[in-house]
Structure formats: C-alpha cells, structure tokens
C-alpha cells in the first residue's frame, strides 16, 4: 500500500523476527501516509525500515473498500504488548526507552516497578528539542509528540530495497508471515533530519537489545533511521509513537477492544483535541491517495 510492503502475520511473529535479526520497525499512522508526499526526510526513514506493520485502522479500512484487498492490521499498541510478553523484556538492560518528557519517564518507571520489569533510570532517555529545517518559509522546534517536516528533495527512481543489514550487508532471514519491507525510491541515506550524538553514545555504552522510541507524531521514524545508521551493532528499533504511553499511563488508556475495532483514535482525540485534531484532519487526503496510487509510492510534492 502506497509503496510500503506491510508485514502479514501476528504481532508476536513480528517481535520474534526483529528479536532474532534486529532492524528498524515502523508503524505509519494515517496522517503519516500524507507525509510521504510532503516530507522527504520521513519518506527516506520509511524507506529505510526493515519491517512495517499496518497500524492505521483507517488505512486498512480504506484499502479494503477501495482496492478490494484485505490487509492484516497490527497496531503499535498490540506490538508493544507483544514485546512486553517476551522473556527478553524481563532481562535487565534489554529494553531502552526514548520518551517525550520527564512525566513520561516517571510514568514508565512507575509502571516498571508495579509490573515487575527491571527498568531503571539509566534505561530511559528524555528526547531533547530537535530542530527542523525550513520548509515553505516556516521554522519551528519540536519534541515528543510533534511532527517534523524538512526540506524537499528530488524523489529519484523507485526500486525495491533488499532486506539486508545496513551494517554487514548480509541478507536477513525471510519474514515468517509474509513481506514487511518498504519499497524505496533509491538506497536510503543515513540523513534523517535528526542528530543526537549524546543518545548514540548512551546506547553504545549499554547496548540494549530493544530500543523503544515513544516520541510519536512521525518523528520517531526519523530518529530510528538515524540510530540504525549510527550504532555499531544491530538492535531492534521500535518506532511506535504514543503506544508505550497507553500502557504506562502517560497517555489515555485505550481498551484493547477499541484498538481491535479501529476506534482507539476516538479516545485519543477526546483526551487531546487541540493537539490531535489538526493531524487527524490531514488524514482526509488518505482515501484519495489510496484510490489514485494503490500499491505505488505517491510522488513527492516539490515546492519552491
């Protein structure tokens, strides 16, 4: 769908694959698909992913209605809960959390204490303010749940990326339930519009097996791509946005029945209307994109 080959299987199978081979896993939300046309850094980050899950219930629904094809949905929340159910999650030092605020860090540590997960202060990192590039005459600073546009670049030629390790170049094992790779316009560059050498240094010292990026809004994918190319080893990097907050209590609790029936967004919108309404409103373009481009990556809009 829109140039992304989504994983076909269960959340547990996706976790098992990433746990074995490492790599970058992304979960585009409905507004994030719009960014494929508007944000070249986000586009490159998605193309750099080793596995993609169909987190957006709206995208899955529109795909079925407009293209007459069924797509397996795995939400970021379901993926995160599947990770917490593994034996890896109970091993000290295996999980490293990148969080949007000190409040989120406090909630994460409280959740770990109550639930018995061996997570300490050293396993958490509060994301600093990342600056974006100038786009269409605007410039701002963003952190946490914010969205990060960047300068436009030429799209280049489309081709399918091989499923390989960016460090060794060796082919990774096949996916257990089907493809979850991303079609790239060209071999992605390490540049994702984000730099954080302090974070890289911290991760290199503790070398966690799983890195959970919970800063949301499309920025997590850029940070994940940056880490993938900067680290000297290959952990699992989970770009799942606000999903950890639904479990730790930093975000509004979403019942699993609501997540299963694609209505978790209603709970989020009720809790943060001013923040999320503009993002959700941008997703109105998604049905038209699916109808027009189908399985092809939509062209990048170049603006002067």
Task: Find all residues with CB under 8 Å of 183, minimum gap 6, and list them.
Answer: 3, 4, 5, 47, 158, 159, 160, 161, 297
Mean pLDDT in runs of 10 for the chain (304 residues)? Answer: 88 94 90 83 90 85 83 87 95 95 93 94 90 39 34 32 32 46 45 83 97 84 94 95 75 56 51 56 73 86 58
H or E stretch at 131: strand 130-131
Q: Please check whether residue 16 lies inside any domain of the structure.
A: no
Residue 36: domain span: 26-293
Q: Please check whether residue 12 lies inside any domain of the structure.
A: no
Q: Please check whether residue 303 lies inside any domain of the structure.
A: no
Q: Please check whether residue 300 lies inside any domain of the structure.
A: no
pTM listed for this prediction: 0.73
Going by C-alpha positions, the residue among 254, 195, 223 that lies closest to residue 55 is 254
CA 59 to chain centre: 15
Q: Please check whether residue 163 lies inside any domain of the structure.
A: yes
- Give the bridge partners for 130, in sequence order: 142
Residue 235: Cβ within 10 Å count: 21
pLDDT in tens, 115-161: 999 999 999 999 987 755 433 333 333 333 333 333 333 333 323 33
pLDDT in tens, 190-204: 455 788 999 999 999
Predicted local confidence at residue 229, as pLDDT: 95
Q: Please check whether residue 9 lies inside any domain of the structure.
A: no
Predicted local confidence at residue 136, as pLDDT: 35
Going by C-alpha positions, the residue among 70, 66, 69, 57 that lies closest to residue 31 is 57
Q: Please check whether residue 274 lies inside any domain of the structure.
A: yes
301 contacts 6 by C-beta, under 8 angstroms: no
29-58 burial: b if 16+ Cβ within 10 Å, else e: bbbbbbbbbbbbbbbbbbbbbbbbbbbbbb
Structural domains counted in the chain:
1
Q: Please check whether residue 7 lies inside any domain of the structure.
A: no
């Amino acid at each position: 769908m829109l140039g992304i080959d989504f994983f076909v299987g269960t959340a547990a199978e996706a976790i098992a694959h990433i746990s074995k081979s490492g790599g970058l896993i992304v979960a585009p939300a409905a507004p994030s698909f719009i960014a494929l046309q508007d944000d070249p850094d986000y586009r490159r980050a998605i193309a750099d992913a080793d596995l993609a899950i169909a987190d957006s219930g709206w995208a899955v629904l529109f795909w079925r209605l407009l293209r007459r094809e069924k797509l397996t949905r795995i939400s970021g929340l379901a993926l995160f809960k599947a990770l917490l159910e593994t034996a890896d999650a109970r091993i000290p030092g295996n999980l490293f959390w990148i969080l949007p605020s000190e409040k989120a860090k406090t909630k994460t540590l409280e959740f770990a204490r109550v639930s018995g997960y061996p997570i300490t202060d050293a396993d958490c990192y509060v994301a600093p303010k990342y600056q974006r590039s100038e786009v269409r005459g605007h410039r701002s600073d963003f952190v946490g749940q914010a969205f990060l546009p960047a300068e436009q670049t030429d799209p280049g030629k489309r081709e399918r990326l091989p499923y390989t390790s960016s460090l060794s170049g060796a082919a990774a094992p096949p996916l257990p339930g089907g493809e979850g790779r991303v079609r790239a316009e060209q071999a992605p560059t390490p540049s994702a519009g984000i730099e954080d050498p302090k974070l890289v240094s911290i991760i290199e010292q503790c070398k966690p097996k799983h890195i959970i990026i919970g800063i949301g809004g499309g920025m997590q994918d850029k940070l994940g791509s940056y880490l993938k190319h900067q680290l000297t080893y290959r952990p699992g990097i989970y770009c799942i946005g606000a999903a950890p907050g639904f479990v730790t209590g930093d975000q509004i609790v979403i019942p699993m029945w609501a997540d299963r029936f694609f209505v978790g967004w209603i709970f989020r919108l009720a809790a943060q209307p001013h923040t999320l309404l503009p993002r959700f409103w941008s997703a109105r373009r998604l049905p038209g994109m699916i109808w027009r481009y189908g399985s092809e990556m939509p062209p990048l809009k170049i603006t002067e």
